[in-house]
Amino acid sequence: MAIPGNLLTTAMAIMPHRNVNQALELVLSLDVPFWPQLPHLSYYEDMYVQASEHFPGIVLDLEKRTVRFSMEKFINEFEETMAHFNEPEYLDVSETYSAVYNRFLDLDLSDCPAIRGQLEGPISFGFHVLDQDDRPILFNDTIRPFMIEFMAKRVNVQMNRLKNLNANAFMFIDEPGLQFLFSALSGYGDVAAKGDMEVFFSLIERPRGVHLCGNPDWDFLLGLDLDILSLDVYSNGEVFVAYVQSIRRFLDRGGVIVWGIVPTNFEPFEKEDLDSLEKRLTQLWTFLANEGIDRQFLLSRSMLSPATCCLVNPDGEKTVEKAFKMIQELSLRLREKERLLCAG
């Protein structure tokens, strides 16, 4: 199995650091490293901005820190984009849009159990980016199909670069917008979303999955053709494990769950320790075991991570670094207790 499971560690890519070396050193301390996104370093590092690179029609304002869309600009730029549509270099993340990505690609990561990349997904990107009429481009029936194909191509380009470093590379599609699909604001509901997401994932090479910190319809998300799902179980664990049948089907077809358990926000982190977080997590696993999901099977298809990213702590990057250290300590403790220490 390309994605290792067995309670190995990874994390969310968005980090509060301004020092590239410090951020890289931290992610390399995890079992499954990734290239960090550093929006405090530059607005180009914002996840929506990184996803927008070479997307025709984008209006990027670095001073106001906004990313918008112009239909007129899209029409003017579309032909140029299509002329480069099959060029991997054009669709990859450039040095301008990430201070870390190319440095990560220069590392020897062949001995890692796996490595990971990420890109913002089309649902969240389409919700976030507004056109000249302040309307999300997700609602534009002309733009949406192109956006889905464009993002899928970019994911595949990055995946292939990472697989040159490590055969077990996989991708997270960051989709915080999925939790808004079922709200009253949306003129784009679950039926349309399911169809579009099925098309999107059919265009993406495996292994691939979704990361989000919110609380969507878990039946919907677990029913997508994913290989891995990363979520905040510190905040949403009790809700998530109630979807027993969907979790069972997801695991049975080979899915891996990343249990985001260590908070990275200053106040909740200060209230927890290894014992409290172990108890919180194992209670979720015990619930699933009592509902008929074999514990060892579940753990063989589980990874651990911090619960969320965090850019707003009063101590800068310190709590995030503590959370990274704690997730490693928790992983080692649980792997020893569950006799998984040498697995993965």
Quick: pLDDT tens for 216-248: 889 989 999 999 999 999 999 999 999 999 999
The answer to whether 229 and 210 have CB atoms below 8 angstroms apart is yes
3-state secondary structure the chain: CCCCCCCEECCCCECCCCCHHHHHHHHCCCCCCECCECCCCCHHHCHHHHHHCCCCCEEEECCCCEEEECHHHHHHHHHHHHHCCCCHHHHCCCCCCCCCHHHHHCCCCCCCCCCEEEEECHHHHHHHCECCCCCEHHHCCCHHHHHHHHHHHHHHHHHHHHHCCCCCCEEEEECHHHHHCCCCCCCCCHHHHHHHHHHHHHCCCCCEEEECCCCCCHHHHHCCCCCEEEEEHHHHHHHHHCCHHHHHHHHHCCCEEEEEEECCCHHHHHHCCHHHHHHHHHHHHHHHHHCCCCHHHHHHCEEEEECCCCCCCCCCCHHHHHHHHHHHHHHHHHHHHCCCCCCC
pLDDT at 180: 73
Omega of the bond prior to 263 within 30 degrees of 0, cis? Answer: no
pLDDT at 344: 43
pLDDT at 259: 98
Whole-structure pTM value: 0.95
Quick: pLDDT tens for 1-31: 589 999 999 999 999 999 999 999 999 999 9
The answer to whether 302 and 7 have CB atoms below 8 angstroms apart is yes
Walk me through the domains of the chain, giving residue ranges and CATH numbers: 8-337 (3.20.20.210)
Q: Residue 194 half-sphere exposure, CB side, CA atoms within 13 Å? A: 12
For the chain, what is the radius of gyration of the CA atoms? 20
Tokens of 252: 């049975």
Mean pLDDT by 10 residues, the chain (344 residues): 90 96 97 97 97 98 96 97 96 96 96 96 94 94 96 98 96 87 61 86 95 89 94 96 97 97 96 97 98 96 96 94 97 93 49
